[in-house]
Chains A and B, each alone.
Chain A
Amino acid sequence: MSAESARETPGSPRASAGAGSSRWYDAEAGPVVRPYAMTRGRTSSASRHRLDLIAIVVPEPAADDRGRDQTLSPEHVEIVELCSDMPQSIAELASGLDLPVGVVRVLVGDLVEEELVHVTRPVPPAELPDVNILREVINGLRAL
């Protein structure tokens, strides 16, 4: 961290931009609950692999049991709800829930642990998908 930013902790009321003429109010000031409070301070989940931004979260049959909702946080439930309507990527969930991607990763990791959802593995890095898939992508794009 540079000396400049160390002097004023980002997020503090004094950390107004530039010449200090403006202050942050309401939404500008950020969420009332700090994002990682929802993960109880955890920045990574128990599951082994880091979830890719385009990994798709798919509900398991166990997620149909609404009794399970009571053991989950509202954010967990919301993720299950969103994915039940249509499986969604990590990026879409972060955007839809207005949460940082890092937080969504932890929450989805919890749901994977609980076996309420599973996550699709996208094409591994440094590997290109099958030529047939690429051809279908081109055909699909041309049909747009």
Chain B
Amino acid sequence: MAFGRSSRRKRPVEPVTLKILVAGGFGVGKTTLVGAVSEIRPLRTEERLSEAGRPVDDLVGVEGKSTTTVAMDFGRITLREDLVLYLFGTPGQDRFWFLWDELAQGSLGAVVLADTRRLEDCFAAVDYFERRGIPFTVAVNLFEGAERFPIETVRAALDLDPEVPVLLCDARDRSSVRDVLVAVVEDAMARADVPREPART
């Protein structure tokens, strides 16, 4: 029964853990982004709808497994033995938003991934974070074949506050995603002096 617990003698290190959310519309590249920097394959953790709050949900016309489980991507970046950053991809579909509140709690901030061909898909996420006073950074995922817009155009189209960082990224590219994450943490640092507004619901 006992499978050798090998590292018993050594007291394990208890890392400080931090989390960053990755939000955006369905199919905008959240899984790709998490996978580009995570040291583990994007793990998927599932919460069954029946026990996760039974949202009013019409199951008809929704195919296969997604009717019973909601997957959320997450990744881990071990910055140091005692400092670990977790990334959580928020569920794309609106009806799983009850999960967001928990994910958002205690997070450093969020990335809203946007696709300029379907910018409206990320309105809901922008709205959510604005309303709750959670700092977020907008990262425009540069899909091949998608028209490139200046950052200011994107900012205006999303009606963002001037302090919200907006940058272009390639969700497949490790260094590009790293730059996005650095922007999120820098933004959090800039706000560290100003106490954050308590979350409103």
Write the residues of chain A forming the contact surface with B, with a CB cutoff of 8 angstroms: 1-2, 4-5, 8, 10-11, 15, 17-18, 22, 28, 30, 35-36, 43, 52-56, 58-59, 63-64, 66, 69-70, 77, 80-81, 83-87, 89, 91-92, 94-96, 100-102, 120, 122-129, 131, 133-138, 140-142, 144
Contact = CB atoms under 8 A, between A and B. Distances in A.
Contacts of B105: 52, 125
B3 A122 contact: no
A95 to B, nearest CB: 4
Q: Which secondary structure characterizes the binding site on chain B?
A: mixed
B43 interface: yes
B196 interface: yes
Of the listed residues A2, A59, A69, A128, the one surrounded by the most CB atoms of chain B closer than 10 A to its CB is: A128
A124 B106 contact: yes
Given A53-B103, A125-B199, A129-B16, A140 B6 contact: no
Contacts of B77: 140-141, 144
Contacts of B151: none
B51 A43 contact: yes
Interface string B47-65: 1111110101111111111
Contacts of A58: 12, 14
Interface stretch (B112-120, B137-145, B157-165, B183-191): B183-191
B59 A15 contact: yes
A137 B106 contact: no
